[in-house]
Amino acid sequence: MPKPKKPKTKSRPRQDYEKKPSCKGTKSMRGQPEIYDELKKAVSFAITPAAQLGLTRLSQQLKISRSELIEQIGRGLLTIAELETESDSSFDFLKCRD
């Protein structure tokens, strides 16, 4: 017996910053890298709602998607101004408490 199909939900239209840049004359092809020299891989991670809102706001300001924002940070193309050194105590909350 076939599985019942899920009802289609109405999706909202993408914002301009969420759309990938159009490259005239180039067609997107599955299995072929588009912007970078390697294929992207699906990864998931959990963040707080406040962090999600912060990523959304940053991506809107930069007019790129949240995924592209994370990609650029990871590749070192976008730097974070307030980096702390290991000797700073601002990350004490990450250490185990006795």
- pLDDT number for residue 79: 83
- pLDDT number for residue 47: 94
How far is residue 26 from each of residues 31, 34, 63, 68, 72, measured CA to CA in Å? Answer: 14, 9, 22, 19, 22
- Compute the distance between CA of residue 71 and CA of residue 59 in angstroms, rounded to an integer: 12
Evaluate if residue 2 carries a pLDDT over 80.
no
Evaluate if residue 34 carries a pLDDT over 70.
no
Domain boundaries, the chain: 49-77
Question: Is there a contact between 73 and 80 (Cβ–Cβ < 8 Å)?
Answer: yes
Mean pLDDT of the chain: 76
- pLDDT number for residue 49: 95
- pLDDT number for residue 67: 86
